Structure 1
Amino acid sequence: MKLKRILIPIDGTERSMHSLEFVKETYDPDQVEVEIIHIKELVFIDGISISDEIKTSEKFGKELLERARNIMKGYNVELFFGFGYAGDEIIKRSEDEDIDVIVMTKSTKKGFNRIIGSCTNYVLKHAKCTVMIIPE
């Protein structure tokens, strides 16, 4: 039996970590391979990114991913950290890694785009695989 490949984007909010719990409640460890992804969007000033921000962001991102790995103890988990526009990077990663399901948590902001979040909305429009949006 082919294992389902699941991509879980997290952004560091407790809300985004609910996706991890959802996957644990829904799938047994022997049914899935999980990739947890964190993308940091960088602010450029005159085309130059601030190197301290890069180092700090990378340190935070890797610590966040390790925390997520601990939550998913017992599961086959890969971690991915990168810089870029989160929506684009999630789509690219889902295609490159032959992902079956992307699991994201909806936003708590108001208005349609903000109900699910602009990044989630982008992923919904562009993903070639199943996208599951779970409540907070």
Structure 2
Amino acid sequence: MNKRKILIPIDGSERSMHSLEFVKEIFPKGSVDIIIMNVKELVLINEMIVADEIKLAQELGKDILEAAKEKMKDYKTETYFAFGYPADEIIKKAKEENIGIIVMTKSTKKGLTRMIGSVTVNVVKRAKCIVMIVPNDFTISIR
């Protein structure tokens, strides 16, 4: 039987790291394969992308993913970095990898769409798999 694949998009914030803790709490070691993903949205200035900005973004993304992978060291984990619109890249990766569950964290911003985040709303609307949304204040229960 194939293990279920979980995609965890993170942005490096403490809030987004809650998704990792949630997955560890819910899914036993060895029961799932995990892809941790970081997407950097590129901003064009006069239709130019500054090469230094790209290099810096890639390095930051790599650092974020390595820190996340370390938190998930007991699990079979891959990391993936992309440039683009986060929701588009998350949906694309989920299709490519035949993902069973996407685990995301709620946004801390105010307003209806901001309640769970515009990227999350977009992913929920378009995903062909389960999307689990972790609350900001998720804490691990001690068993």
Which residue of structure 2 aligns with residue 59 of structure 1?
Answer: 59
For 2:58 and 2:112, locate their aligned partners in 1 and report how far apart those are by CA, in whole Å: 31
Which residue of structure 1 aligns with residue 70 of structure 2?
Answer: 70
For 2:93 and 2:47, locate their aligned partners in 1 and report how far apart those are by CA, in whole Å: 25
Structure 1 unaligned residues grouped into runs of 5+:
none
1:5-16 alignment, distance < 5 Å: 5-16=5-16
Which residue of structure 2 aligns with residue 50 of structure 1?
Answer: 50
Number of matched pairs: 136
Identical aligned residues as a percent: 55
Which residue of structure 1 aligns with residue 27 of structure 2?
Answer: 27
The residue identity in structure 1 corresponding to 2:85 is Y
Partner deviation per Cα, 1:25-63 (whole Å, 9 max, x = no partner) = 000121100000000001111211011110000000001
* TM-score normalised by structure 2 residue count: 0.93
Structure 1 residue 127, shift from structure 2 partner: 0.3
The residue identity in structure 1 corresponding to 2:132 is M
Which residue of structure 1 aligns with residue 91 of structure 2?
Answer: 91
* TM-score normalised by structure 1 residue count: 0.98
Which residue of structure 1 aligns with residue 39 of structure 2?
Answer: 39
For 1:34 and 1:18, locate their aligned partners in 2 and report how far apart those are by CA, in whole Å: 15
Structure having the higher strand fraction is: 1
| C-alpha RMSD of matched pairs (Å) | 0.6
Partner deviation per Cα, 1:62-118 (whole Å, 9 max, x = no partner) = 011000000001100000001000000000000000000000000111111000000
- Tell me, what secondary structure is at the counterpart of 2:28? coil
4+ aligned runs moved over 4 Å, structure 1: none
